[in-house]
């Protein structure tokens, strides 16, 4: 999965959006639950370490079984130390990739069996850049 880093224009701007009080069921919603209880700022909800966080676009199919689709926006935290089975962004021979970190075997593993794992011990130039903490997938083609 190829990664394109979004241009860095971070400002601590607030973007509150309405939050409804009820959960959204997978069936027919109740008309009685049609009111806003609060406002939620996605920056506060998605980003714990603003100065160490960046966004990137995913490209490809290697992480589909982990829920990361082509063109997903990845929220990546560089302040976190990667743990076993975390999804990470790594630089491998000068190219960025998104993979599962297998700390026990020291490998980067795709979440798609069509892709081979990458051994960190056999890679001449490998570095884990950050931990993917959220993936935002587009589900429709309206925008």
Report phi then psi at 62, rounded to 5.
Answer: -70, -15
Residues with catalytic annotation? Answer: 62, 99
Q: How high is the pLDDT of residue 11?
A: 55
The model's pTM is: 0.78
Q: How high is the pLDDT of residue 109?
A: 98
Q: How high is the pLDDT of residue 12?
A: 54
Q: Which residue has the tokens 């008309």?
A: 31
Q: How high is the pLDDT of residue 7?
A: 52
Distances in Å between the Cα of 74 and the Cα atoms of 6, 18, 42, 121 are 10, 23, 14, 26
pLDDT, averaged per 10 consecutive residues of the chain (143 residues), comes to 55 61 59 64 85 91 96 93 97 94 96 96 92 92 75
Residue 63 · residue 110 · CB < 8 Å: yes
Q: How high is the pLDDT of residue 84?
A: 97
Q: How high is the pLDDT of residue 142?
A: 78
**Which residue spans of the chain are classified as CATH 2.10.109.10?**
50-136
Q: How high is the pLDDT of residue 43?
A: 82
Q: How high is the pLDDT of residue 31?
A: 59
Could you give the residue ranges of the DSSP H alpha helices within the chain?
42-46
Tell the CATH topology of 50-136: Umud Fragment, subunit A (2.10.109)
């Amino acid at each position: 999965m190829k990664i394109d880093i979004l241009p860095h224009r971070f400002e601590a701007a607030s973007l509150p959006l309405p939050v409804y009080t009820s959960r959204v069921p997978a069936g027919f919603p109740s008309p009685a639950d049609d009111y806003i209880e609060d406002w939620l700022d996605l920056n506060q909800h998605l980003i714990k370490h603003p100065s160490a966080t960046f966004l990137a676009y995913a490209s490809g199919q290697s992480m589909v079984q982990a829920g990361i689709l082509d063109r997903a926006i990845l929220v990546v935290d560089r302040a976190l130390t990667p743990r076993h089975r975390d999804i990470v962004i790594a630089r491998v021979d000068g190219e960025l990739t998104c993979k599962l970190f297998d700390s026990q075997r020291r490998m980067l593993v795709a979440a798609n069996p069509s892709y081979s794992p990458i051994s960190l011990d056999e890679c001449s130039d490998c570095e884990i850049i950050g931990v993917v903490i959220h993936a935002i997938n587009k589900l429709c083609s309206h925008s």
